[in-house]
Each structure stands twice: as structure tokens, then as C-alpha cells.
Copies of this chain bind each other. A is one copy, B any other.
Amino acid sequence: MLIDLKKAAEMLNEADNILILTHANPDGDTLGSGYALLRALLKAGKKARLINNDEINRKFAFLYEGVPSYDFAEDFIVSVDVAEKKLLGDNVLEKYGDRVNLAIDHHGISRLFAENTFCESESASCCELLYLVIKEMGIELDSGIASCIYTGVSTDTGCFRYSNVTPRTHRIAAELIEAGADHSRINVAMFETKSMNNIMLERMCLDSLRSYADGKIALIAVTKAMLDECGTDKSALDAIKPITRQIEGVEIGITVKEEDGDKVGVSIRSSESFDAAEICAHFGGGGHARAAGCQFRGKTVEEVSGTVVDYIINEIIK
């Protein structure tokens, strides 16, 4: 059942022995939401704890440092930033997937898997909703809660950079800083810190950078050997994919990456003049207009690069 903010706050105020679930491969928004709620519930004198399916990157350690841990049989389960059940991750899914009493989420594609769902898809982050929920519960923000909420508000908007930012996002950020959110230190940790391995990968990717069609197309090719040599895994590619499109004059940015098996993946980012999803659809893939992907089998990275670039030059840019 879909419920509103007031009802969600009421349910949490009435509950005790509360278990909080985040999504798997947790990011700043799900962890910020979860730990903000955990801190708020503990502050209100309730028993609460948080679990997630995977290891937490240590850059998020400040979210939970100093928070006491309780063990208890849970009477109420709440998920944060989880758009559908399977995103809880296998272990959590198996144990708690069918027992979630309240889901708080901000995804447009949110599936109703919980008994009650408070979802607002216009919200830039789930943490914006947690701000509203915690205020509605009558719990005063402190610097710990504010820092948790700020983390999701900032990371899910690329530090207030993306088009999902609304006036409310900024007004909430103002309140969080007033409540003591350690904003600039959080932003350094979230946005200005890269591992040496990722820097090495970036360097190798820039070495592989090629451009076509008078600079309208840029392509980066990533092989498994490169990932191995840098000691990084696929997650490091998140920082690589935007590079091509950020180059002045580039309309279509392509990242080609060797994957497990005999697969080669292609990510395309495009300017407003071209439709990345349409290009990828030609190769059996799909996605959004500005960011899409497709996959090839039984071809080398070189062959796939040539195929995709030729198609774009001959059929799309012309």
C-alpha cells in the first residue's frame, strides 16, 4: 500500500525493535538514509540496528562510527532506497525480503514489495525523504544525523550538479549545515578521493583515447588486462564512462570494455543532439536517451570498437 509522509512517520514512532535494510552494493544514499534513521531511532530511545548484504566501502565509516550496536528480535522492518526486493541482495532477500513493513524510496521504477511504501520519485535522493520523515517524527537533527542525510543528498546529485536538484534539495542542505553536517569534509571524501589503482586505470584509458568524425566521437577501450594490471575491478569503470562525453566538442562518447566470457560491453553517452538508446538498440541494447549500453559476443574489443564507430559515422552522424 502506498502511504504518505505523515503515516510513515507515525508507523516509525509506534514501532520498536526496528531492523533497517539498505540495498546491496550500498552507496551514499542508501547508507546515509539507513544510518540517519538508525541514529534518529536510537535518539528516540528505541532499539534499532542496520544490516546490508555487502561490505561497506571504508570511506563511509563516519556514517556509523560511534553508533552503538544492539541485538534483538526485530518487530518491524524498514527498507531505505530499495526500489525492488531483489536489490536487497541474496542473503538479505532470503531472510527478510517478504517481511518488510515499510519501504522508503525515491525511485521512479519503485516496485511495491513492502507492506507499506512511502515513495516520492521527484525527490533527488532518498535522504531528502529521510530528512522529512525524521522531522515529521519530531526528532531533532544533530550533527551525526545531519551528516548522514547530507551524504545522500550530495552523492545522489553529484554534489548538487545534476538536473534532479530542486529548490527543496538546496533548502534541506542549508538546514543540514546549520544542524552541523560536516559538509566540506564529506564532499572531499565522496568526490575528491581516488585510489592509486583507479588513477592508474584512468591514465591507461586516456592513453587508449581516440577520436573520430572531427572530434564528435570519442572512444575509450578497456581490456581485462588493463583492469588486472591496475588491480581494479569493474566498479572502477564508473569513473571512466563519463570521460569521453566531457571532452569539448564530443557528441557521442563510447566506452568499450572486455567482459567475462567472450563478451564485450559498450557504454554510450550522448549530447542532446543524439539518442544513445537508439544507437544501442541497433545492436540489441537499450537504456536512456543520454546514457545507454549494448553487448557483443565472440568479438574482440578492437572489432567491436570498429563496428560501433562505423555505424555511428555512416548512419547516425552522416
Contacts and interface: CB of A to CB of B under 8 A. Distances in A.
15 contacts: A159-B160, A159-B161, A162-B184, A162-B187, A167-B178, A170-B170, A170-B174, A170-B177, A193-B246, A195-B247, A195-B248, A199-B206, A199-B247, A202-B206, A203-B206
A175 interface: yes
Interface in A146-173: 154, 159-163, 165-171, 173
A101 interface: no
Given A161-B159, A165-B183, A170-B170, A192 B246 contact: yes
B160 A173 contact: yes
List the 5 shortest-distance A-B pairs measured between CB atoms, nearest first: A163-B184, A203-B206, A167-B174, A170-B174, A170-B170
A206 B249 CA distance: 23
Contacts of A192: 161, 242, 245-246
Select the residue from A202, A245, A248 with max chain B CB neighbours within 10 A.
Answer: A248
Interface in A176-193: 177-178, 183-184, 187, 191-193
A207 interface: yes
A171 B178 CA distance: 12
Contact of A167 (B166, B169, B177, B206): B177
Nearest to A272: B185
A62 to B, nearest CB: 15
Contacts of A191: 161
Nearest to A190: B161
* Most central of A162, A169, A174 by chain B CB within 10 Å: A174
| Overall SS of chain A's interface | helix
Given A160-B160, A203-B206, A184 B165 contact: yes
A194 interface: yes
Given A159-B159, A187-B161, A191-B161, A196 B211 contact: yes
Interface of A: 154, 159-163, 165-171, 173-175, 177-178, 183-184, 187, 191-196, 199, 202-203, 206-207, 209, 211, 215, 242-243, 245-249
A195 B291 CA distance: 21
A168 B159 contact: no
Given A167-B174, A207-B203, A248 B196 contact: yes
A162 to B, nearest CB: 6
Nearest to A165: B183
Nearest to A250: B196
A167 B177 CA distance: 6
Nearest to A271: B188
Contact of A170 (B171, B207, B246, B249): B171
A86 to B, nearest CB: 31
Contacts of A202: 206
Contacts of A243: 199
Contacts of A203: 203, 206-207, 209
Nearest to A185: B163
